[in-house]
Amino acid sequence: MASPGCAAHLPVFIGHPHHGDTRMVSLYEDIKPSRSLLGLPELSWPGVYIPCCDRFPIQENPWMLRMAEPHAPAALPYGTLEPSPAKPSQAQDPPCGMEGQVEERCLEQVQTMVVGEVLKDVDTACKLLNIASDPLDWSCVHVQKWLLWTEHLYRLPQVSTLFQELTGRDLCSMAEADFRQRSSQFGDVLYAHLDIWRSAAAMKELCPPADRKSGKFNLVSENLSAADDDSWTEVMRSYPSQPIHLWQFLRELLLKPHNYSRCIRWLNKEKGIFKIEDTAHVARLWGIRKNRPAMNYDKLSRSIRQYYKKGIIRKPDVSRRLVYQFVNPV
DNA sequence: TAGGAGGAGATAG
DNA sequence: CTATCTCCTCCTA
């Protein structure tokens, strides 16, 4: 994606780009595309560069300072991601002395967190979409799901129609120019996003989840949302088979408040009472998950109501709009 | 006008 | 056959 001497910006949304609580950074690919790490033994992305380090001098950057603390970095508001002028030389300057070592370690930590978050996001998307993490394994249907998801994630106009009848292998064999040919405006974004997925798949192969859990990537899940991650993993273990049921899907969203609290959230977790805050968003997510592009809240709510007589979901004692209750809370 | 309740036929796995 | 999906009517806030 990067032409020589003209490195490209690779936006990576950590969490969800539409939400204020999103921690978002832009990965800067320096010279080599991230795919080039496929053959690398070490588990770091060469050239991954955090442009926010440019914008905020490290000693004045609270976000950077918080890296050393045990909790999550503060959110970077959506919209601050505009590619800042690339300054590769600055990123590549060898740090000097103790200060330089601290800075380097800090950068390493950030990189590790970013990569860990990317892997987590890819994992989450895989589970929500029910597709393999490795694009090479995707069927045409999986490719369409991934495209719909990417459209949704980056708020792209409909691009999935431009990539019909393509398997994941077809997609992976395409050069950036081929992507641009199909979509002159967003081909590069799709290419970059696919690149992230391919890199993540390669990385997962090099470093299985068990290793990641106990290894360096633990930094991320420990620091950012350990409880979330555990419950999420638990949920996925509980429902390994397909197809997923709507109530399970809703519960999954509820168990990822970091990503989805803007569209669905607990009002009373103990009692299993939740509220759908953004009907269109939840319906769209469900539609993507079930490959039903025409899904809307009207239909989704009808499906929820089917659970009334099955005793899975009901309206709370005090009925309120968009508020439902799991009959058997977790 | 959006959301809620529920009937009923269609559809996918 | 089950679990929705889809379309529908009627009701309510």
Task: For residues A229 and A235, give the distance between their C-alpha atoms in angstroms, rounded to a whole number.
Answer: 10
CB of A286 within 7 Å of some strand C atom: yes
Residue A147 lies in a domain: yes
* Residues 219-278 of A with CB within 7 A of strand C: 245-247
Question: How confident is the model over A285-307, as pLDDT tens digits?
Answer: 898 888 888 899 999 999 999 99
Q: Which residue has the higher pLDDT, A117 or A125?
A: A125
Question: In terms of residue numbers, what domain contains A314?
Answer: 244-326
Q: Is A136 helix (H, G, I), strand (E, B) or coil?
A: helix
Say what the pLDDT of residue A315 is.
92
Mean pLDDT of chain A: 63
- Considering A178, A206, A234, which residue would you say is the last residue of a domain? A206
The token pair that represents A62 in the structure block? 């609270």
Domain total in chain A: 2
Give the residue with minimal CA–C1' separation from C3: A245
Contacts of A206 (CB under 8 A, 6+ apart): A41, A43
pTM beyond cutoff 0.85: no
Spacing of A302 CA from C9 C1' in Å: 14
DSSP state of A6: B
The H or E element that residue A23 is part of is strand A23-28
> What CATH number does residue A313 fall under?
1.10.10.10
- Considering A151, A178, A206, which residue would you say is the last residue of a domain? A206
Residue A312 lies in a domain: yes
Question: How confident is the model over A199-211, as pLDDT tens digits?
Answer: 777 766 655 554 4
Q: Based on the domain organization, do A185 and A256 belong to the same domain?
A: no
> What CATH number does residue A140 fall under?
1.10.150.50
- Considering A206, A236, A266, which residue would you say is the last residue of a domain? A206
Residue A275 lies in a domain: yes
Spacing of A321 CA from C11 C1' in Å: 14
Q: Based on the domain organization, do A116 and A198 belong to the same domain?
A: yes
Q: Which residues touch strand B (CB under 7 A)?
A: A 243, 279, 297, 301-302, 305, 308, 315, 319-323
Q: Based on the domain organization, do A199 and A110 belong to the same domain?
A: yes
Say what the pLDDT of residue A40 is.
27
Say what the pLDDT of residue A326 is.
93
Nucleotide nearest A243, from its CA to each C1': B13
